Amino acid sequence: MDDLYFIGITWQEIVNWFLVQPIYAQVLVLIGVFAVLTLAVILVYYILKGVGYLVYYILKGVYYLLKGIGLLFYKIFEGLYYAISGKPKPEKNQVVVIQQVPVQQASPQVRQVKQEEEPIVPIQKTVQIVQPEVTFCNECGNKFTDSMLQTLSDRGVAFCIHCGNKKTQDYQMSIES
């Protein structure tokens, strides 16, 4: 064992130095070595994690860059195709602009077209009536459930299921008024 070296000192000298120390010093040295090893492992973990994130985001950026370049070439070749073939490029969202002509300037043909159009039928919408009994707890601000309102009207006393605050019939009367 004498031929093993650690930082220029033989391993046997390090062991002899450790054994010469009092027991509390040996315990402190062991705790220190354990702490240094733990910190080294944690440091290596975070370095590897950082390198992993770096590689991930670099690859993600390269992917989006290549995707954009591919889309650029697609748009260029699509434009060249429509330019060479002479076909019109189809529009996805065609907006039709209708110009209104004043009534005095309208010709008889325009008036005939207006008469032939189908009559406009108004859309009937249903209206839902909202119950005025919606109440909220003055402690926690949560909405009372239907069962809480039913219990309050039946028994005259109810407890908020969210905060446990007691509500009486007087509370419901003050809300309704």
CA angle, 112 then 116 then 117, to 5°: 120
Cα–Cα distance for residue pair 120/101, rounded to 1 Å: 20
Given a contact cutoff of 8 angstroms between Cβ atoms, the answer to whether 163 and 137 are in contact is yes
Which residue has tokens 């402690």? Answer: 139
pTM for this one?
0.39
Q: What is the pLDDT of residue 175?
A: 53
Cα–Cα distance for residue pair 49/113, rounded to 1 Å: 72
Cα–Cα distance for residue pair 95/104, rounded to 1 Å: 27
> From first to last of its 177 residues, what are the pLDDT tens digits of the chain?
447 777 777 878 888 989 999 999 999 999 999 999 999 999 999 999 999 999 999 999 999 999 999 999 999 999 999 999 988 888 877 655 566 655 555 455 555 555 566 777 777 777 654 444 557 777 787 877 878 778 877 887 888 888 888 777 665 555 554
Cα–Cα distance for residue pair 126/62, rounded to 1 Å: 53
Given a contact cutoff of 8 angstroms between Cβ atoms, the answer to whether 166 and 174 are in contact is no
